[in-house]
Chain A
């Protein structure tokens, strides 16, 4: 019987990616002794970009949001704070990082774009089309984890 306190912390890995458009490269990875709270380790399934740890068979083990990644606009802040914050279009180029739970069986990580079904080229309505509001995953890149 496993007792509550005896459960070992899940190992996390720090990953740093660089991207241009949706071309993404992994530029750094390092194990980190830290917890990843449920807030980050159990994100809602919603459109956006995520990083996922997978086992040898490609099964997802953990997923965290890639916040601040692949941004195509930037905020411009007013010096007078009562004035509106505005956004401007920018080239999607830069870097982002995640802390990802990496259980021992994790062998690779994937950068995943989650689309709202129907937001892409595929129209709704076919008998096999996903229902409006459903989401679908697109792998942008996968990388081996150094264990």
Chain B
């Protein structure tokens, strides 16, 4: 009963088209299938594929999953079934991986030679993520560990799905017993927080490892075991799908908690709970490119010159991020604390600011049209989303943020009735009492409120009013908020964005699009006041596409926009040469009306991001030494 009892025939990819070096790769190996029974193995493999891909969240992760079949012929059919295990028939079978029921005297414990399995899988599919052996027997059985095994008995596929949870993602068992519930010594979980992401000893809402998934109204703990001498077998006292802390997990009746009342990591044939689904997402999702909402702006921050953090909203509304570091490349897309963004208008974007190099603050309007924030800190990682004030924002509105100095944030957005609203956070006093209306202003439907701080104690804000004119207001530490005043000369689309940059403290440049799509600019200078609006180099934007401006020097600006032919265009202004002609950036195309995100990590470098015509987030760059890159690449993992 060794590898002399069979032959490896070879591999066949039976599902997926992900790049092999950026895929979650499952390898199915057959044992106890004779040469004449290989079609039986192939049928079973198809059934596994159907079961896996139908199981959430795998159904949504399919683009990053490859499944391979490794055909192995065995001399005999079946597996050993020793009579020493109650129920065993005493049958023996000469098979390649030496599969046998009756492990530890328990017939259902189906084991094989793991080392041979792993070496065979590595030889056939070097990049494999998990290896599963399908044993040709209708006796029910399976096992887990570094290799999953299951038989052909009805329902045994569920064993593989549960075991992949352990092997690929480090998920814990959520059942509250070791030997079925009648054992001793498993009343109370010992001290020490488990390392697995789906069990905990901690019910503190603010530090709970899955706190992001717990609704504010859900009690913690959600269910407590009234008798720790036994398993709590009561039905759930809360609605199905409620995420909280349910006592009884990780082999103990009390002291350890699971996220939902039930989960595939607790009971076979049950769906994965919300937390386990998110863990699976975080393992496989980063391997894939990101289908994004077509017109939702992308946000990008360079906390330091060798690092980028990119924020985008997935086509299904998930709040997503990817980061690049010069030392390690792109990390891959992951969902930020389980968040979803409001789908109204062009879709609420995630906006971001780095008050210092080890910290990020994020803002978004959620699906309930409330404003939410999260932060990342180098010392503590990502915080759960929390609500900022009581404001009900316009669906899909943008929350613009300015950090006038490192201990202060000012936020700007529009209320559901269009009022131009603001609030602030200060390190000394925390969040302001609530949002307030700026100068009695009301914005046009779809317009955002943009802001720039020319000084640490001064703000200039801009929007499009209900008469489609551009308006401005300012705040100064000495005088407070001014009234809104118009900047006449153009009529805008109602959803136009007014982009403002301050090249130096006494100067502002504004960019927007007129109702006919013309790309317009004006400026303000402390000495001369406001200039008239003018069209930039004859440019016309795709309807709704905002103008992005980057200041690389005080005397140089770069602009980006999507043109009427959906090409990505750029121009620049230099004080000695004026405005250049618009040119297509690296052959790029973007979604109609979408935004181009751009930033300069260092003065002679630009990184540019957009949603391509295929709906995927893409990027290119310009460098002073080599000019523009030859093309665009899709953001994923590198």
B21 & A34 in contact (Cβ 8 Å cutoff): yes
With known contacts A35-B287, A86-B177, A87-B251, A95–B118 Cβ distance under 8 A: yes
Rounded to whole angstroms, the CA-CA distance of A79 and B153 in the bound complex is 9
With known contacts A14-B126, A33-B127, A94–B115 Cβ distance under 8 A: yes
B192 & A86 in contact (Cβ 8 Å cutoff): no
B179's closest neighbor in chain A, by CB?
A: A86
B115 & A27 in contact (Cβ 8 Å cutoff): yes
Chain B positions within 8 Å of A140 at CB level: none
Q: Which of B38-46, B329-337, B467-475, B532-540 forms contacts with chain A?
A: B329-337
B432 at the interface (CB under 8 A from A): no
B619 at the interface (CB under 8 A from A): yes
A99 & B283 in contact (Cβ 8 Å cutoff): no
Closest-CB distance, A42 to chain B (whole angstroms): 9
Contact with B along A34-69 (1 / 0, CB 8 A): 110111100010111000000000000000010111
Rounded to whole angstroms, the CA-CA distance of A28 and B283 in the bound complex is 25
Contact with B along A6-20 (1 / 0, CB 8 A): 011110001010100
Rounded to whole angstroms, the CA-CA distance of A8 and B330 in the bound complex is 10
Q: Which of the residues B108, B146, B173, B267 comes within 8 Å of A95, measured between beta carbons?
A: B146
A99 & B192 in contact (Cβ 8 Å cutoff): no
Rounded to whole angstroms, the CA-CA distance of A24 and B153 in the bound complex is 35
Rounded to whole angstroms, the CA-CA distance of A85 and B334 in the bound complex is 32
B119 at the interface (CB under 8 A from A): yes
Rounded to whole angstroms, the CA-CA distance of A75 and B156 in the bound complex is 13
Which residues of B174-210 have CB atoms within 8 Å of chain A's CB atoms?
A: 175, 177-181, 191-195
A84 at the interface (CB under 8 A from B): yes
B332 & A38 in contact (Cβ 8 Å cutoff): yes
B192 & A116 in contact (Cβ 8 Å cutoff): yes
Q: Which of the residues A10, A35, A71, A133 comes within 8 Å of B22, measured between beta carbons?
A: A35
B159 at the interface (CB under 8 A from A): yes
How big is chain B's contact interface, by range? 35 or more
B173 & A16 in contact (Cβ 8 Å cutoff): no
A7 & B638 in contact (Cβ 8 Å cutoff): yes
Rounded to whole angstroms, the CA-CA distance of A88 and B103 in the bound complex is 10
A76 at the interface (CB under 8 A from B): yes
B105's closest neighbor in chain A, by CB?
A: A88
Contact with B along A77-116 (1 / 0, CB 8 A): 1110110111111100011110100000000000000001
B155 at the interface (CB under 8 A from A): yes
Which residues of B278-309 have CB atoms within 8 Å of chain A's CB atoms?
A: 282-283, 286-287, 306, 308
A4 at the interface (CB under 8 A from B): yes
A84 & B159 in contact (Cβ 8 Å cutoff): no
B544 at the interface (CB under 8 A from A): no
Rounded to whole angstroms, the CA-CA distance of A86 and B147 in the bound complex is 18
B111's closest neighbor in chain A, by CB?
A: A74
Chain A positions within 8 Å of B607 at CB level: 4
Closest-CB distance, A74 to chain B (whole angstroms): 6
B625 & A88 in contact (Cβ 8 Å cutoff): no
A32 at the interface (CB under 8 A from B): yes
B604 & A74 in contact (Cβ 8 Å cutoff): no
B268 at the interface (CB under 8 A from A): yes
Chain B positions within 8 Å of A8 at CB level: 329
Q: Which of B4-12, B137-145, B397-405, B564-572 forms contacts with chain A?
A: B137-145
Chain A positions within 8 Å of B179 at CB level: 86-88
Chain B positions within 8 Å of A132 at CB level: 191
Contact with A along B307-320 (1 / 0, CB 8 A): 01000000000000
Closest-CB distance, B116 to chain A (whole angstroms): 8
Closest-CB distance, B288 to chain A (whole angstroms): 11
B620's closest neighbor in chain A, by CB?
A: A5
Closest-CB distance, B16 to chain A (whole angstroms): 14
How big is chain A's contact interface, by range? 35 or more
A67 & B146 in contact (Cβ 8 Å cutoff): yes
Chain A positions within 8 Å of B22 at CB level: 34-35
B145 & A68 in contact (Cβ 8 Å cutoff): yes
Q: Which of the residues B145, B173, B194 comes within 8 Å of A94, measured between beta carbons?
A: B145
A30 at the interface (CB under 8 A from B): yes
B383 at the interface (CB under 8 A from A): no
B193's closest neighbor in chain A, by CB?
A: A133
B148's closest neighbor in chain A, by CB?
A: A68
Q: Which of the residues A28, A68, A73 comes within 8 Å of B119, measured between beta carbons?
A: A28
Chain B positions within 8 Å of A7 at CB level: 324, 326, 328-330, 638
B329's closest neighbor in chain A, by CB?
A: A7
With known contacts A7-B329, A14-B122, A82–B267 Cβ distance under 8 A: yes
Rounded to whole angstroms, the CA-CA distance of A62 and B334 in the bound complex is 20
Q: Which of the residues A4, A30, A73, A82 comes within 8 Å of B308, measured between beta carbons?
A: A4
Closest-CB distance, B151 to chain A (whole angstroms): 10
A1 at the interface (CB under 8 A from B): yes
A3 at the interface (CB under 8 A from B): yes
B22's closest neighbor in chain A, by CB?
A: A35
A5 & B328 in contact (Cβ 8 Å cutoff): no
Rounded to whole angstroms, the CA-CA distance of A38 and B605 in the bound complex is 26
B178 & A87 in contact (Cβ 8 Å cutoff): yes
B109's closest neighbor in chain A, by CB?
A: A76
Rounded to whole angstroms, the CA-CA distance of A77 and B179 in the bound complex is 11
A146 at the interface (CB under 8 A from B): no
B623 at the interface (CB under 8 A from A): yes
Chain A positions within 8 Å of B191 at CB level: 132
B115 & A18 in contact (Cβ 8 Å cutoff): yes
Q: Which of the residues A14, A28, A40, A68 comes within 8 Å of B166, measured between beta carbons?
A: A68
B104 at the interface (CB under 8 A from A): yes
B170 at the interface (CB under 8 A from A): yes
With known contacts A30-B122, A35-B22, A79–B140 Cβ distance under 8 A: yes
Chain B positions within 8 Å of A39 at CB level: 169, 282-283, 286
| 5 closest cross-chain pairs (CB), A and B | A46-B195, A68-B146, A95-B115, A7-B329, A34-B127
* 27 intermolecular pairs with C-beta atoms under 8 Å apart: A2-B306, A4-B330, A4-B607, A4-B638, A5-B638, A7-B330, A8-B329, A9-B329, A10-B329, A16-B122, A27-B119, A28-B119, A37-B283, A37-B637, A38-B332, A46-B195, A47-B195, A65-B170, A67-B167, A77-B108, A77-B162, A78-B108, A79-B155, A87-B251, A88-B104, A90-B103, A94-B146
Q: Which of A's residues lie within 8 Å of B, judged by CB?
A: 1-5, 7-10, 14, 16, 18, 27-28, 30, 32-35, 37-40, 44, 46-48, 65, 67-69, 71, 73-79, 81-82, 84-90, 94-97, 99, 116, 119, 132-133
Q: Knowing that A1-B602, A4-B607 touch, tell me 20 more A-B residue pairs with CB under 8 angstroms.
A: A2-B306, A3-B623, A4-B619, A5-B619, A7-B638, A9-B329, A16-B119, A27-B119, A35-B21, A37-B331, A39-B283, A48-B195, A75-B144, A77-B108, A77-B162, A79-B108, A82-B267, A84-B181, A86-B179, A88-B106
